[in-house]
Amino acid sequence: MNEMAASIPAAIRGLSDDTIRVLERVPSAVFVLDADGLIRWANGRTHRVLKRSVESVVGLSAEALFGCQMPSVAELPNEPEGFAGRTTLPTPDGLRMVVSFRVTPLELPGFEPAEGCRAVFVQDVTGIEHLRAERDRLLQFATVHEVLPSLLHELKTPLASVLSSVELLIEDYEEPALQQSLFAVLQELRRMKLNLEGIGSVGRPLRAARVHAIDDVVTQACRVLEASARARGMVLHCQTASLPLLPFDPSVVRAVVFNLVTNAIQASVAKGRIAVEVSIEEPSKVFKLVVRDNGCGMNAEVLSRCRDLFFTTKANGSGLGLALCDAAARAADGQLRLESQPGQGTTVTLLIPVSAPRDERQG
């Protein structure tokens, strides 16, 4: 008996060297189970697929390794494909992976295995699962995109009426307790309005034909967002220099501020601090908006992908905010810079030339 054959347990001894070489070259991890469901042999692909050595899995039960029972030979369907399934496994680095497996009788030409032996072929399909999840998200967003404009219109119109009514009530009633209650309602209504602008305005051009007081726009947006920060035990500080009137769309600027500050709030912990700074860089005449937090920060992989459309690390995130802010900046001949370190926070800097490029002005 040669060395390769000697490494095979008695239950499946008799495999030819050629057969063993074939099993070693199969692109799946291959396991041979005995009648009791114990793993008696595994190919070298095990390490690449499951990130586990062959030695660490041989002798384990299939249920212990995969978290589910494998059907016996008698339970397998009378089809060449055998039994197919899917399960989620932990990885050595603390993540989760999705694997598909197929259980078949151990039927090889000229080979008689011990009774009850079967083969399990395993593949890592985590990437495929991520693609499917991303596809489903894209389909959902495509559906939302169809109805979003009319939905926003239906919400903004009555919201504007309610806002005006509450503002008038605050002016008409001088009783302090009532005014305080109405002002709290007004703040929530303004936050709702800012949310709607954050959803519907970022896709519009940032540049505008008319000039506006953008420093006031940023200050007002931060004032509305202060309540959200305060509710989570954070301090939001806004520092704006006195700026000249700028040719930027106020609703788009508010939407950018909303998205960047909301991200900072969600990334921060209690007693965290968020700073918003606005200025004009001289002599280049570049509008500069900085949003800085001391929250959880991002690792290199997340930082490299955070501007990708639909990429998000949040369970209920849309993956739209940073992507659309980045697109708005580039469309205005500007840029969105991000600096981040895990555990040290994130700084996002929006830089937009005050004057449009010459070809854009001529167009």
pLDDT digits (tens, 9 = 90+) for 5-45: 444 554 455 566 777 777 788 889 999 888 888 888 888 88
Q: For residue 129, tell me if it sits in a domain.
A: no
Q: Which residue has the higher pLDDT, 257 or 268?
A: 257
Q: Which residue has the higher pLDDT, 107 or 307?
A: 307
What is the value of pTM for the model shown? 0.54
**Across 212-225, average pLDDT:** 91
Tokens of 340: 């981040």
**Contact (CB, 8 A) for 340 and 346:** yes
Domain count, the chain: 3
Q: Are 223 and 295 in a shared domain?
A: yes
Q: For residue 258, tell me if it sits in a domain.
A: yes
Q: Are 236 and 262 in a shared domain?
A: yes
Query: pLDDT, tens digit, for every residue of 72-98?
Result: 888 888 776 788 888 988 877 777 889
Q: Are 162 and 16 in a shared domain?
A: no
Q: Are 192 and 223 in a shared domain?
A: no
Q: Which CATH number is 337's domain given?
A: 3.30.565.10
Q: Which CATH number is 19's domain given?
A: 3.30.450.20
Q: For residue 249, tell me if it sits in a domain.
A: yes
Query: pLDDT, tens digit, for every residue of 333-358?
Result: 999 999 998 988 999 999 999 987 65
Domain housing 274? 201-362
Q: Are 97 and 192 in a shared domain?
A: no
Q: Are 348 and 226 in a shared domain?
A: yes
| Distances from the Cα of 4 to the Cα of 13, 24, 80, 198, angstroms | 10, 12, 28, 65
Q: Are 329 and 206 in a shared domain?
A: yes
Select, from the ranges 51-55, 137-141, 191-195, the one with the highest average predicted confidence (pLDDT).
51-55
Instruction: Spell out the residues 6+ positions from residue 234 whose beta carbon is closer than 8 angstroms to its own.
Output: 265, 268, 270, 271, 272, 273, 274
Whose CA is closest to 155, among 119, 117, 101, 195? 195
Q: Are 145 and 110 in a shared domain?
A: no
Residue 287: predicted pLDDT:
95
Q: What span, in angstroms and rounded, lies between the C-alpha atoms of 78 and 295?
A: 57
Q: For residue 176, tell me if it sits in a domain.
A: yes
